[in-house]
Chain A
């Protein structure tokens, strides 16, 4: 009877952990499947095998300036910011990542040089992490991941190009309006003074802008 109980426990545990794995990896699988039409069971298992679960508390760093990038994160739940800290202590935010995003310092990743940016969790976050070696191995063995990466990177490039255009084409006020229009979720989750530096304006100017908008409405 003891053996029966033990095997029942083992069975339930394995059922439970399978469910957990399905749950942990469902988001990243869905994200990758939005770029390529089909992933085989084998390829799906490769994702599970190579991405490890990690939690970060609000304020913790995923990457510190000066480190060379060795990992990429996928955000299951939470919010990251990329920022640069200058000698005078000021910070400028270059990017925000939420659920469904892959996060790393692109320059350091591709050039293998020390990162100028830091990546920090702005909320308690649950992420999946993969090392650069694991990524390269996945690319080598499975063309489909090379393809997915190309398409994902392409989309980031387009998004970033839009970001640059905001600076060239729009006034500070219009940049904020466009930001709100494109990233309504970030408006609620990112502190206002951080959004300001991302848009290239001072926190005071942004406060004034928002107050003015409220009056108009």
Chain B
């Protein structure tokens, strides 16, 4: 499991050495979640971050009506997931992080992270680069909402998550794209029709 993380770490900080990698490995603890299990519940104090070895985590908030869930983020294999706001402000988390399917994580506590940051400059660098990556990824998603309508967002989603989107229940995709499940169904129907038509044209 750690090998996946090691590969990623080396791609971000090529000169990180064995000693530092071993130090990180020692602080990581494996955690298995079943589909539907929580990594973090709203109201809890976040004090860990997760590296996803296998599976999908979703981050969501429950809206004022107490029922509707708005999914804000999906994290897949080889990605880091946490509730940054709760970690930094040391306040109860406003969001929940839940396994969308059976998921295997490597988890590290904020204290251990802080220890690694203080001890090894390259760990500090690795942390910085991880955060920058997350920002770029998120920036991409912000543009969906500023630039695109519902249909375009759906198409971007399909393209961007080509290898993953079939693993996510459709009703979760809808809220992630900021549309109702009904609108998403309609979009998917339209999309299927379009694909079928273009296949017909190609084969004619």
Write out the residue numbers on chain B whose beta carbons fall within 8 Å of the beta carbon of A27: none
Write out the residue numbers on chain A whose beta carbons fall within 8 Å of the beta carbon of B88: 151, 154-155, 158
Asked if B132 is at the interface (CB within 8 A of a chain A CB), the reply is: yes
Q: Which residues of B121-140 are within 8 A (CB) of A?
A: 121, 124-125, 127-128, 131-136, 138-140
Contact A150 B127 (CB under 8 A): yes
Write out the residue numbers on chain A whose beta carbons fall within 8 Å of the beta carbon of B142: 94, 160, 163-164
Q: Which residues of A141-189 are within 8 A (CB) of B?
A: 143, 146-147, 149-151, 153-158, 160-161, 163-165, 167-169
CB-based nearest A residue for B130: A150
Asked if B8 is at the interface (CB within 8 A of a chain A CB), the reply is: no
Contact A149 B128 (CB under 8 A): yes
| Stretch of A5-13, A38-46, A57-65, A104-112 lying at the B interface | A104-112
Q: How many residues of B contact A (CB 8 A)?
A: 32
Write out the residue numbers on chain B whose beta carbons fall within 8 Å of the beta carbon of A51: none
How many A-B pairs have beta carbons closer than 8 Å: the answer is 87
Cα-based distance from A157 to B142 in the complex (angstroms): 11
Contact A157 B124 (CB under 8 A): no
Q: List 17 A-B contacts (CB under 8 A).
A: A92-B147, A107-B140, A110-B136, A143-B121, A146-B125, A147-B124, A153-B128, A154-B84, A154-B88, A155-B88, A157-B84, A164-B72, A167-B178, A168-B175, A168-B176, A168-B178, A169-B61
Q: Which positions in A face B, CB cutoff 8 Å?
A: 84, 92-94, 106-107, 110-111, 139, 143, 146-147, 149-151, 153-158, 160-161, 163-165, 167-169, 197-198, 200
Q: Which positions in B face A, CB cutoff 8 Å?
A: 61, 63, 70, 72-73, 84-85, 88, 117, 121, 124-125, 127-128, 131-136, 138-143, 145-147, 175-176, 178
